[in-house]
């Protein structure tokens, strides 16, 4: 293991991360909220620590293998999220415990969006801004991880998206070098954020709110600078803008990349994952709408449609914005929406969950098993569009699903062991493992009441979800640490 | 499709099934409980209907293909369970609705053991006996299905146990013809039942209770002729006998067959599934015991151990006998035991759940995925003992797990749509799909309070579980019905 090369990279990352403390400091100055000092301190701490880690190892620049790739990915999220907790620890208002500070930071950087803070509306502007920005940075990290790194590492069948392999994303020919790919992806991500913020401003938000919500929309993070989340605005315009940009952010960024580089717009029209994604989205909206109408849940059909639209899109893409108490919606709607977050966004998006492509492949593979039983001697392959998938991808997707289910059960039983009730434990595990945010029961609004050990378990769930289970799971294998 | 051959076989089965109405009629005569007439009527109805179905088709004796095998298996359970509902419909006490009669009969024949009857203690002896006997008959059917039929049909990776393939059950060389295999299996099943009944009698049960409970123990069914289930006896001896025979019944009957035919006792010692089964069993008992001790749940350690033993074995093997309200046990024990029922018994046993072998294979395959990520160029195979498994078995097991999870979610959301609360819906789905019986919440004791539509959904879950999902699922495929 090339430890010193890994440490060098980490040092650089932490030093770079220090820069992200400057914008909130500026926000503090603009709004004169008197909370600038913690960010200045955090900036200095990150910069010095980062450089101190980097300097003695600066000459270690060996080539890295897949093994080291996993370690860097895991350390990227755990180390940066830990340093990201600094402002929460240093702030006087709100006074946060160490556990709470880490929970909020990990929830932000993994774009989960579960919060332990009550009274967000009354926080200093700088810390309001900082929470949103950390989600946006996490979203950036995910795009690069999902589009450029996981296909190379081959996690959960994502070798499917490797640039060399033929198929749906073949035309997008991702720039081979990760750094270069990352630069292009960030450019798209940045542009989308600006367009989204402008759109929010056009439908009536002030610039501060527009930027804050654009950050958490494009990152599919779900943090808001209001306790009432999107519901604060009570505006159809805001909801519609949010839905449109959540849909854009929940698509594979490789498709956006292909479109942006002008090479092919038809990627959007020929992608089987995108098609499945919209079929699921529209079905969910229609089911929610018809049940709400049947129960006369809202005063008129227009409001019912607006709420059905924003809530089903927000939960199923794993954003987790709330505009109404959907957890009290009639009969099976709350649990259906929680289950829909297991599907989540497309691969290569900022969304969480299993990802649409994997659910589609599980369905196709299930269909193949049935066909095999009926005609035992025929040979069936799993096809995506015109393309037959190699067995290794098929097996990796199935392995992903099984591991996801196993982690789910372990974390849920662990939470109940800390004294949590069954429904809350179920939905809290789903909400963190799928990087969704809000759950049902005790955690429908905030996670403030969860015990400390429960919070650490949920942090673990967020990491497992965000790192596509296997990136973290490999570290638990003795084989990994054998040289 | 050879419809007339299938109808001929069904007619024969129904006519044969009529004979099972005679023992309860005799019980009625012995105890003079005045409930003999419904059984006599049911006997005549089954016999006449069966012969009427069989007679016009008696000359159709074509060879059957795999497709027709699936149809016969599904019809076996649905048609016999429907005819099995006759006595419940005809009886004056208890007065049962059509839904309740079908629920009780399907729950019996699938060895689920969920009941809608309250006040079982006060029922006529004949109907008490009949409920136990229908479980015993269901258990017989399962053994033949699991050991002789599913390996040929190849459901859920069970081709692993096909006699021709080399491996752990190679030595047992199952007699190729199903009928002959069935005869031998029933002989073992019958002998075990006699030994079990005698053991129950030795530890203090009267003969009637001993036979009734031997029926539902060997079938891992969980019905009892007392509302308080095994708790009625409040006897360590009864609990220990029950545990021992549940363990025997939860092993692969192919192993018993090999041992009984004197060819090899070492099958027991070299079977990786058996080893895993006992590791899981012992772990569960120890976890329950230590938590109960820690919480001072019982007055002394002896009682705590007795209860930990009987309840964890009863739930994890999917028998579902209760001796105490385990659903009120501290913290995570109830949910852990419900989750353990997903593992269930060994393949080829009367137990339900996913089966130990599949869980073991899922674990081994997950481990392989991790190894593949660490060393992408190495070639790994999934090994059971010394034997590398073909990809097709590996994929079939993964497909089985995914389909199981999908059916689980659909039934659970369906139950919530009927107005059931989340915890009850979760545990009721688990308890029926795993053929366990008792759940948590509203269905911890009986299913009497569940709505009619809810009961039919649960009947569907019992069938999906008992028919190893795919035997029933293939019937929903258009390919199946294409000639
Ligand atoms: K989220
Ligand atoms: K049972």
Closest Cα of chain A to B368: distance in Å? 9
Per-residue pLDDT tens over the stretch A396-408 = 888 888 889 999 9
CA of B431 to the centre of ligand 2 (A): 8
Note the residue count of chain A.
483
Residue B146 DSSP class: I
Residue B149 · residue B52 · CB < 8 Å: no
Query: What's the token pair of residue A282?
Result: 């529209």
- Using the Cβ of A294 and the Cβ atoms of chain B, whether some distance falls under 8 Å is answered with no
| Dihedral of alpha carbons A362, A367, A370, A374, sign | negative
pLDDT digits (tens, 9 = 90+) for A311-363: 999 999 999 998 888 888 888 898 899 999 999 999 889 999 999 988 998 88
Tell me the residues of chain B between 144 and 163 that have a Cβ less than 8 Å away from chain A.
153-155
Residue A288 β-bridge partners? none
CA distance A151 to chain B (A): 11
d(CA A77, CA A83) in angstroms, rounded, equals 10
Query: Which residues lie across from A387 on neighbouring strands?
Result: A384
Which tokens hold the place of B125? 């002896």
Contacts of B406 in chain A (CB under 8 A): 366
**What whole-number distance in Å separates Cα of residue A316 and Cα of residue A288?**
12
3-class DSSP state for residue B387? Answer: strand
What is the Cα–Cα distance from A57 to A123, expressed in whole angstroms? 40
B395–A395 CB contact, under 8 Å: yes
Give A 365-394 residues with CB within 8 A of chain B: 365-376, 391-392, 394
User: Residue A134: phi, psi to the nearest 5?
Assistant: -65, -30
Secondary structure of chain A in HEC code, one letter for each residue: CCHHHHHHHHHHHHHHHHHHHHHHHHHHHHHCCCCHHHHHHHHHHHHHHHHHHHHHHCCCCCCCCHHHHHHHHHHHHHHHHHHHCHHHHHCCCCCCCHHHHHHHHHHHHCCCCCCCCCCHHHCCHHHHHHHHHHHHHHHHHHHHHHHHHHHHHCHHHHHHHCCCCCCCCHHHCCCCCHHHHHHHHHHHHHHHHHHHHHHHHHCCCCHHHHHHHHHHHHCCCCCCCCCCHHHHCCCHHHHHHHHHHHHHHCCCHHHHHHHHCCCCCCHHHHCHHHHHHHHHHHHHHHHHHHHHHHCCCCCCHHHHHHHHHHHHHHHHCCCCCCCCCHHHCCCCHHHHHHHHHHHCCCCCCCCCCCCHHHHHHHHHHHHHHHHHHHCCCCCCCCEECCEECCHHHHHHHHHHHHHHHHHHHHHHHHHHHCCCCHHHHHHHHHHHHCCCCCCCHHHCCCCCCCCHHHHHHHHHHHHHHHCCCHHHHHHHCHHHHCC
pLDDT for B246: 95
CB-CB under 8 Å, B406 with A401: no
Residue in the block written with tokens 């803008």: A241
CA distance A231 to chain B (A): 26
C-beta atoms of B366 and A402 within 8 A:
yes
ipTM of the complex: 0.85
Rounded to a whole number of angstroms, the distance from the CA of A138 to the nearest CA of chain B is: 24
Helices and strands of chain B, counted as H and E runs: 22, 2
Which secondary-structure segment (H or E) carries B383? strand B383-384
| Minimal CA separation from B403 to chain A, in Å | 7
Interface of A with B in 399-458 (CB under 8 A): 399-403, 405-406, 409, 412-414, 416-417, 419, 422-423, 425-426, 440
List own/partner pairs for B328-333 with CB under 8 A and 24 or more apart: B329/B288, B329/B291, B329/B292, B329/B297, B330/B291, B330/B292, B330/B295, B330/B297, B331/A416, B331/A417, B331/A419, B331/B291, B332/A413, B332/A414, B332/A416, B332/A417, B332/B291, B333/B287, B333/B288, B333/B291, B333/B292
For residues A409 and A159, what is the distance between their CA atoms, to the nearest angstrom?
27
Contact B401 A405 (CB under 8 A): yes
- Parse chain B into domains and list their residue ranges: 1-95, 96-393
Q: How confident is the model at residue A161 (pLDDT cuts 50, 70, 90)?
A: low
- Share of chain B residues as helix, strand and coil, in percent rounded to the nearest 5: 70, 0, 30
SS3 at position B353? coil
DSSP readout, B257-283?
Answer: HHHHTTS-STHHHH-HHHHHHHHHHHH
Closest CB to B373 among A153, A401, A422: A153
* Residues in B 48-67 with any Cβ partner in A closer than 8 A: 66-67
Residues B446-476: pLDDT tens digits? 898 899 999 999 999 999 999 988 888 888 8
Alpha-helical regions (H) of B35-97: 36-54, 66-84, 86-90
Going by the annotation, the residues of the binding site of A for K(+) are 111-112, 220-221, 318-319, 435-436
Contact A365 B422 (CB under 8 A): no
The CA–CA distances, whole Å, from B82 to B13, B70, B86, B268, B308 equal 13, 18, 7, 38, 37
Is B422 within 8 Å of A419 when comparing Cβ atoms?
no
Q: What radius of gyration do chain A's Cα atoms show?
A: 22
> Which positions in chain A touch B343 (Cβ < 8 Å)?
none
> Which residues of chain B register pLDDT less than 50?
163-176
Q: What does the pLDDT read at residue A281?
A: 95
Q: Is A164 a residue whose pLDDT tops 70?
A: no
For residues B411 and B433, the answer to whether their CB atoms sit within 8 Å is yes
Other CB atoms within 10 A of residue A191 CB: 13
The answer for residues whose C-beta is within 8 angstroms of residue A435's C-beta and 6 or more apart is A110, A111, A112, A113, A220, A318, A344, A351, A352, A353, A462, A465, A466
Q: H-helix or E-strand containing B199?
A: helix B178-202
Ligand nearest to the CA of A216: 1
Enclosing H/E stretch for B384: strand B383-384
Kind and range of the H or E run holding B424: helix B422-433
Q: Measure the CA–CA gap between B181 and B282, rounded to whole angstroms.
A: 32
Q: How many Cβ pairs closer than 8 A exist between chain A and B? A: 150
Give yes or no for A339 touching B (CB within 8 A): yes
Mutate to test the interface with B, among A380, A398, A479 (most CBs of B within 10 A): A398
Q: Which residues of B are annotated as a binding site for K(+)?
A: 111-112, 220-221, 318-319, 435-436
Task: Report how far apart, in Å, the C-alpha atoms of B240 and of each of B305, B311, B336 are.
Answer: 11, 11, 22
- A477 contacts on B by Cβ (under 8 Å): 367, 370-371, 374
Exposed e or buried b per residue across B114-136, where buried means at least 16 C-beta atoms within 10 angstroms of its C-beta: bbbbeebeebbbbbbbbbbbbbb
- Quote the pLDDT of residue B263: 67
Scanning A68-97 for CB atoms below 8 A from B yields 70
The binding site of B consists of 111-112, 220-221, 318-319, 435-436
Angle CA B426–A287–B99, to nearest 5 = 50
Cα–Cα distance between A115 and A137 in angstroms, integer?
Answer: 17
pLDDT of residue B162: 59
Q: Which positions in chain A touch B332 (Cβ < 8 Å)?
A: 413-414, 416-417
Contacts B440 to A, Cβ<8 Å: 422
How many other CB atoms are there within 10 angstroms of residue B9's CB atom? 22
Contacts with B, A 227-286, CB within 8 Å: none
pLDDT of amino acid B315: 94
Are B417 and A331 a contacting pair at CB < 8 A? yes
Round to whole Å and give the CA distance between B171 and B270.
11
Neighbours of A265 (CB within 10 A): 11
Interface test with A, best of B358, B367, B369 (most A CBs within 10 A): B369
Among residues of chain A, what percentage have pLDDT more than 70?
95
By the 10 Å C-beta count (0-12 exposed, 13-18 middle, 19+ buried), A364 is classed as: middle
Query: DSSP letter at B147?
Result: I
| Partner residue opposite B470 with nearest CB, options A370, A395, A403 | A370
User: B402–A362: do the CB atoms touch at under 8 Å?
Assistant: yes
Q: Tell me which residue of A68, A147, A73, A156 sits closest to A110, measured CA to CA.
A: A73
Closest ligand to the CA of A250: 1
Least confident window among A88-97, A445-454, B38-47: A88-97
User: In this predicted structure, what is the pLDDT of residue B217?
Assistant: 95
Contact B470 A422 (CB under 8 A): no
Residue B387's beta-bridge partner residues? B384
Give mean pLDDT, residues A201-216.
Answer: 93
* Inter-chain touch A391–B391, beta carbons under 8 Å: yes
Which residues lie across from A388 on neighbouring strands? A383
C-alpha–C-alpha distance, residues B83 and A372, integer Å: 32
Other CB atoms within 10 A of residue B61 CB: 12
Q: What's CA A410's distance to the chain center, in Å?
A: 21
Please state, in angstroms and rounded to a whole number, the distance separating the CA atoms of residues B207 and B13: 30
B405: nearest CA partner in chain A: A405
Of the listed ligands, the closest to the CA of A113 is: 1
The dihedral over CA atoms of B176, B177, B180, B184, expressed in degrees to the nearest 10, equals 40
Chain A hits for B425, CB-CB cut-off 8 Å, are 335
CA distance A474 to chain B (A): 6
The residues, any chain, with a CB within 8 Å of residue B59's CB and separated by 6 or more, are none
Q: Does A387 or A460 have the greater pLDDT score?
A: A460
Contacts of A44 (CB under 8 A, 6+ apart): A18
pLDDT for B55: 85
Start-end of H helices in B295-390: 301-316, 333-343, 356-374
Give the integer Cα–Cα distance in Å for A19 and B359: 48
For chain B, how many residues are written?
483
Q: Which of A150, A83, A138 is nearest to A114 (CA)?
A: A138
């Amino acid at each position: 293991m090339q430890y010193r090369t890994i440490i060098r990279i980490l040092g650089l990352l932490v030093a770079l991360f220090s820069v992200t403390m400057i914008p909130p400091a500026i926000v503090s100055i603009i709004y004169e909220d008197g909370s600038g000092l913690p960010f200045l301190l955090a900036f200095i701490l990150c910069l010095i620590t980062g450089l101190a880690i980097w300097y003695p190892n600066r000459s270690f620049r060996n080539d890295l293998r897949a093994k080291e790739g996993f370690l860097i990915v895991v350390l990227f999220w755990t180390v940066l999220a830990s340093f990201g907790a600094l402002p929460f620890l240093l702030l006087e208002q709100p006074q946060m415990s160490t556990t709470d500070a880490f929970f909020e930071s990990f929830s932000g950087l993994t774009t989960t969006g579960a919060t332990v803070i009550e009274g967000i509306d009354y926080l200093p502007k700088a810390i309001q801004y900082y929470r949103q920005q950390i989600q946006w940075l996490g979203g950036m990290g995910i795009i690069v991880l999902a589009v450029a790194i996981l296909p190379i590492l081959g996690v959960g069948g994502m070798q499917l998206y490797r640039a060399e392999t033929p198929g749906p994303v073949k035309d997008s020919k991702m720039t081979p070098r990760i750094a270069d790919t990352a630069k292009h992806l960030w450019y798209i991500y940045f542009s989308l954020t600006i367009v989204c913020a402008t759109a929010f401003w056009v439908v009536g938000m002030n610039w501060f709110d527009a930027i804050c919500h654009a950050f958490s929309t494009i990152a599919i993070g779900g943090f808001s600078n209001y306790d009432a989340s999107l519901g604060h605005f009570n505006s159809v315009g805001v909801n519609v803008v949010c839905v449109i940009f959540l849909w854009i952010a929940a698509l594979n960024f490789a498709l956006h990349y292909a479109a942006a580089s002008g090479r092919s717009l038809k990627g959007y029209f020929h992608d089987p994952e995108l098609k499945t994604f919209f079929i699921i989205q529209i079905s969910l909206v229609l089911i929610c709408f018809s049940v709400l109408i049947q129960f006369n849940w809202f005063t008129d059909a227009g409001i019912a449609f607006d709420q059905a639209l924003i809530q089903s899109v927000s939960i199923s893409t794993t954003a987790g914005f709330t505009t109404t108490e959907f957890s009290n919606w009639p009969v099976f709607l709350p649990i259906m929406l929680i289950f829909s977050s297991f599907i989540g966004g497309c691969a290569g998006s900022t969304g969480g969950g299993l990802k649409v492509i994997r659910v589609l492949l599980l369905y196709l593979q299930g269909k193949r098993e049935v066909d095999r039983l009926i005609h035992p001697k025929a040979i069936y392959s799993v096809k995506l569009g015109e393309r037959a998938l190699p067995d290794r991808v098929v097996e990796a997707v199935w392995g992903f699903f099984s591991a996801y289910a196993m982690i789910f059960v372990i974390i849920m039983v662990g939470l109940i062991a800390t004294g949590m009730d069954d429904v809350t434990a179920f939905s809290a595990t789903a909400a963190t493992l799928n990087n969704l945010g809000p759950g049902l029961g005790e955690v429908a609004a905030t996670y403030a009441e969860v015990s400390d050990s429960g919070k650490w378990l949920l942090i673990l769930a967020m990491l497992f979800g965000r790192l596509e289970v296997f990136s973290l799971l490999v570290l638990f294998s003795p084989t990994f640490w054998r040289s």
